[in-house]
Structure 1
Amino acid sequence: MHTLTHREYLAMRRFPALDGLRAVAALMVVFFHFGGTRWGFLSGWSGVHVFFVLSGFLITTLLLREQDRAGKISLRNFYLRRFFRIIPVYVITFAAVVAVFSLRGEYDASGLHAAMPYYLTFFNEFADPSAFIVSWSLGIEQKFYLFWPLLAFAVALGFRARLAVTVGTTALVLCLFPLVDGGWPVHYLVMLTGALLAVVLHHRRGFALLRPLTHPVAGTLVAVALVAGQVSIRFAVPWVGTEPPVIAAYGVLIALGLPALLGAGPVPWLLAQRPLAAIGDRSYALYLLQPLAGLMAGGVLAAPGTTRNALLVAAIALGMADLMYRVVEQPMIRLGRRLTAPPKPATTPPASPVEQDALTHAS
Structure 2
Amino acid sequence: MLTHDRYLALTRLPALDGLRALAALAVVFFHHGGPVFDRLQGWIGVQLFFTLSGFLITTLLLREERDTGRISLRGFYLRRTFRIMPVYFLLLGLTTLFVTLGGRFTSSRLAEALPLYLVFCNELVDYNTPFGISWTLGVEEKFYLVWPVLFLLTAAVGVKATGCRLLLVPAAIAGLLLAAEWSPLTVHYASILVGCLLALVLHHPTGFAILRPLTHPAAIALVVAGFLVLQFNIGPLRTLLGGGWTLVVPLYAVAVALLLTAVIAPGPVQRALSCKPMAFVGKRSYSLYLSQSMAASVMSPLVPEPSTIKALGASLIALGIACLLYRWVETPAIRYGRRLADGGTTDRFLPMKQPGHS
Same fold (TM over 0.5): yes
Equivalent position of 2:329 in the other structure = 328
Q: Quick one: which of 69, 90, 93 aligns to 2:91?
A: 93
Structure 2 matches for 1:127-146, cutoff 5 A?
Answer: 127=125, 128-146=127-145
Structure 2 matches for 1:188-199, cutoff 5 A?
Answer: 188-199=189-200
Q: Aligned partners of 1:97, 1:302: CA distance in 2, in Å?
A: 20
Q: For structure 1, which segment, 155-164 or 205-214, has the greater mean C-alpha deviation from structure 2 after superposition?
A: 155-164
Q: Offset at 1:179?
A: 2.7
Equivalent position of 2:265 in the other structure = 263
Note if contact 1:6-1:207 (Cα within 8 Å) is conserved in structure 2.
yes
1:161 is the counterpart of 2:159: no
Closer, same or farther: CA 71–360 of 1 in aligned 2, 3 Å: farther
Q: For structure 1, which segment, 154-163 or 94-103, has the greater mean C-alpha deviation from structure 2 after superposition?
A: 154-163
Q: For structure 1, which segment, 148-157 or 211-220, has the greater mean C-alpha deviation from structure 2 after superposition?
A: 148-157
Note if contact 2:51-2:192 (Cα within 8 Å) is conserved in structure 1.
yes
Equivalent position of 2:20 in the other structure = 22
Q: Quick one: which of 286, 289, 307 aligns to 2:288?
A: 286
Equivalent position of 2:177 in the other structure = 174
Q: Aligned partners of 1:341, 1:244: CA distance in 2, in Å?
A: 42
Equivalent position of 1:347 in the other structure = none
1:358 is the counterpart of 2:358: no
Note if contact 1:62-1:360 (Cα within 8 Å) is conserved in structure 2.
no
Note if contact 2:29-2:42 (Cα within 8 Å) is conserved in structure 1.
no
Note if contact 1:122-1:139 (Cα within 8 Å) is conserved in structure 2.
yes
Q: Offset at 1:153?
A: 2.6
Q: Offset at 1:202?
A: 0.2
Structure 2 matches for 1:4-43, cutoff 5 A?
Answer: 4-43=2-41
Q: Offset at 1:155?
A: 2.9
**Aligned-pair RMSD on alpha carbons?**
1.6
Q: Aligned partners of 2:349, 2:295: CA distance in 1, in Å?
A: 27
Note if contact 1:153-1:162 (Cα within 8 Å) is conserved in structure 2.
no
Q: Offset at 1:342?
A: 2.4
Note if contact 1:217-1:265 (Cα within 8 Å) is conserved in structure 2.
no
Q: Aligned partners of 2:104, 2:318: CA distance in 1, in Å?
A: 21
Runs of 4+ in structure 1 off by over 4 angstroms are: 359-362
Q: CA offsets, 1:297-351, max 9 Å, x none?
A: 123x3252111110110000000000000000000000000111329xxxxxxx8
- The code of the aligned residue for 2:348 comes to Q
Closer, same or farther: CA 143–116 of 1 in aligned 2, 3 Å: same
Give unpaired runs (5+ residues) of structure 2. none
Equivalent position of 1:147 in the other structure = 146
Q: Offset at 1:291?
A: 1.2
Q: Offset at 1:184?
A: 0.8
TM-score (norm 2): 0.94
Q: Aligned partners of 1:114, 1:83: CA distance in 2, in Å?
A: 25
- The code of the aligned residue for 2:307 comes to T
1:298 is the counterpart of 2:296: no
Q: Aligned partners of 1:337, 1:231: CA distance in 2, in Å?
A: 40
Number of residue pairs the alignment of both structures matches: 349
Note if contact 2:169-2:193 (Cα within 8 Å) is conserved in structure 1.
yes
Q: For structure 1, which segment, 69-78 or 304-313, has the greater mean C-alpha deviation from structure 2 after superposition?
A: 304-313
Equivalent position of 1:317 in the other structure = 318
Note if contact 1:134-1:288 (Cα within 8 Å) is conserved in structure 2.
yes
- The code of the aligned residue for 2:178 comes to C
Give unpaired runs (5+ residues) of structure 1. 344-350
* SS of match in other structure, 1:356: coil
Note if contact 2:220-2:263 (Cα within 8 Å) is conserved in structure 1.
yes
Equivalent position of 1:348 in the other structure = none
Q: Quick one: which of 69, 77, 80 aligns to 1:79?
A: 77
- The code of the aligned residue for 1:254 comes to V
Q: Aligned partners of 1:357, 1:294: CA distance in 2, in Å?
A: 33
* SS of match in other structure, 1:45: helix
TM-score (norm 1): 0.93
Q: Aligned partners of 1:153, 1:306: CA distance in 2, in Å?
A: 48
Q: CA offsets, 1:79-138, max 9 Å, x none?
A: 110000000000000001111111111111212011112111111111022111100000
Note if contact 2:26-2:43 (Cα within 8 Å) is conserved in structure 1.
no
